[in-house]
Copies of this chain bind each other. A is one copy, B any other.
Amino acid sequence: MKAIMIICDGMADRPVPELGNRTPLESARKPNMDELARRGICGIMDTIAPGIPPGSDTAHLALLGYDPLEVYTGRGPFEAAGAGLEVRAGDVALRVNYATVDKGLVVLDRRAGRIRDTKPLEAAIQRIKLPGAQFFFKSTAAHRATLVLRGRGLSHEISDSDPHKTGEKVLQVKALSRGAAKTARLLNDFSRRAHEVLTKHRLNKERVGKGLPPANYLLMRGAGIAPRLEPLRNKFALNGACIAAAALVKGVCRMAGMKIVDVPGSTTDVDTDLNNEVGAVLQALDGHDLVLYNIKGFDEVSHDGNFEAKVKFIERVDLALKQLIDAADFIVLTADHTTPISVREHTGDPVPVSIAGPGVRVDGVASYDERSAAKGSLGRIRGKDLLPILTNLMGKGKKFGA
C-alpha cells in the first residue's frame, strides 16, 4: 500500500468579505480536490493544538507523527538539515545572516545589501577552528547561512546575537541556563573570529570599493538542539520521500529519514512548476510507501494578502492534482496551517483534512473546504495523529496490547 500526503502550505483561510464571506477554498473551482473529499473521510485538524499558530517546521514534524512539543527547541537544526548539512542528535544549530556592521559593531544592514554570492566568504568561514566543538557552516540563499556545532555539553538555551533591528549594536550571545555557558562563549568567539576574517576578505574590500555594504558580520538566531527523531522507517514501517521547495520542510523530512527529491523549476511561490513536481511525486512512488508533497505558493500569496491570487493558485493546483488522484492507494489532502489573507500570518485555526483510500468510512462530504470538512466523520484530530491514522488504514498499525 502506498500513500501521497499533499500538504497545501497555508491554503486554509477564514471567510473573506470580498469573496461573499466565503473562504478562498469555498470560492475556487476545484473539482479534483472535491473528488478527493467525496472519496475520503474528512475532518479538521489542529496541527499542533487548538488555537496554536504552527510554524512550518513544527507543523511538518506533527504531520510526520512526532510531537513537536517534545522534540522541537528551535528552527536551527531543521534549517541546517534543509541546507544539506548533516545534523546529528545533540548538535546545536543556528540560523545565520550575513550582515553589515560599522566599526562600533552597530548593525547597518541585517542582510548585507541582500548580497547574492557568498561562496567565497563561506569558504573562509569554514576554515575557522576553535577548541571545544566542531563547527559546520554553510551559505544558503542570498544573505542566509546556517551553523552547526557538534561537541560535548552544548546547549540551545542561548540568546540571539541578532538584535533584529538596524542601528543597534550586535548582541553578545548569552547563556539562558546554567549549562549553556560553554555554547555562548564558543559562539561569541566564533563571531569575533568571523568578523575578523570577513572584514579582511577580498570580496568585502571589493564591495566597499563599489560602494556596496560589506558582509562583515554573522548575525545568529533561532538556536535549537537537534532531537533524536525515530526514523519513519522504524516508527511507521514507512519508506518516505519528500517533494518540497521550502528548505525548512526538506530539513524536517531529512531528519525523519526521508529521501529528499529536488525538482527543477520548483519554487516556494506561485510560479512553481507544478507539472515537474507532480511528475516527481509519481516517480518517487516507485520505491517509497509515502510521498509527502508540499506546495508552498499558497502561503506566499496569503502573506501578501492577495485573495484573488490565492483562489487562482488553488484552481491551478487543483488541475495539477488530477494526475495524482488515482496514483496511490491512499491520498491525503491537507494543509500545515491556516494563513488567512486577512491576517497575512500563520494562525491557529484548524485545517481541513481528507483521507481517501480503500476501507475508509466515506462520510458524504462533497466539497474540500474548511467548513464542509468540519462535518466529516474524522471529527477534529491533532496533527500528530494523522500519520498513525493513515498507517492504520494502510495495514501498518502497531497493536498496543494483546
Residues of chain A touching chain B, judged by Cβ–Cβ distance below 8 Å, are: 14-15, 21, 23, 44, 48-59, 68-69, 72, 74-75, 222, 248, 340, 342-343, 345-349, 359-363, 370-371, 374-375, 377-382, 385, 387-393, 395, 397-402
Contact = CB atoms under 8 A, between A and B. Distances in A.
**Prevailing SS type, chain A contact patch:** loop
Contacts of A54: 399-401
Given A349-B392, A402-B75, A397 B361 contact: no
A351 B217 CA distance: 57
A270 B178 CA distance: 57
A371 B379 contact: no
Nearest to A377: B374
Nearest to A65: B51
In the complex, the count of this chain's copies comes to: 2
Given A52-B392, A54-B401, A346-B399, 5 more contacts: A48-B401, A51-B392, A56-B401, A374-B377, A380-B381
Contacts of A375: 377
A48 B399 CA distance: 10
Nearest to A55: B401
Identify the 3 closest CB pairs spanning chains A and B, nearest first: A55-B401, A51-B388, A58-B401
Contact of A401 (B23, B57, B340, B370): B57
Contacts of A395: 343
Nearest to A14: B359
11 contacts: A14-B360, A14-B361, A48-B400, A52-B398, A53-B397, A53-B398, A58-B402, A59-B401, A342-B359, A348-B389, A379-B380
A51 B348 contact: no
Nearest to A350: B379
A58 B400 contact: yes
Contacts of A74: 402
B371 A363 contact: yes
Contact of A52 (B342, B380, B388): B388
B400 A56 contact: no
Given A55-B402, A56-B402, A359-B340, A44 B377 contact: yes
Contact of A380 (B75, B380, B398, B401): B380
A372 to B, nearest CB: 10
A363 B14 CA distance: 12
B400 A68 contact: yes
A57 B258 CA distance: 35
Contact of A68 (B346, B361, B387, B401): B401
A132 to B, nearest CB: 27
Contact of A379 (B44, B342, B349, B390): B44
A120 B400 CA distance: 35
A397 B337 CA distance: 13
Contacts of A359: 14-15, 340, 342-343
Given A48-B400, A380-B381, A399-B55, A392 B361 contact: no
Contacts of A56: 401-402
B397 A50 contact: no
A197 B51 CA distance: 54
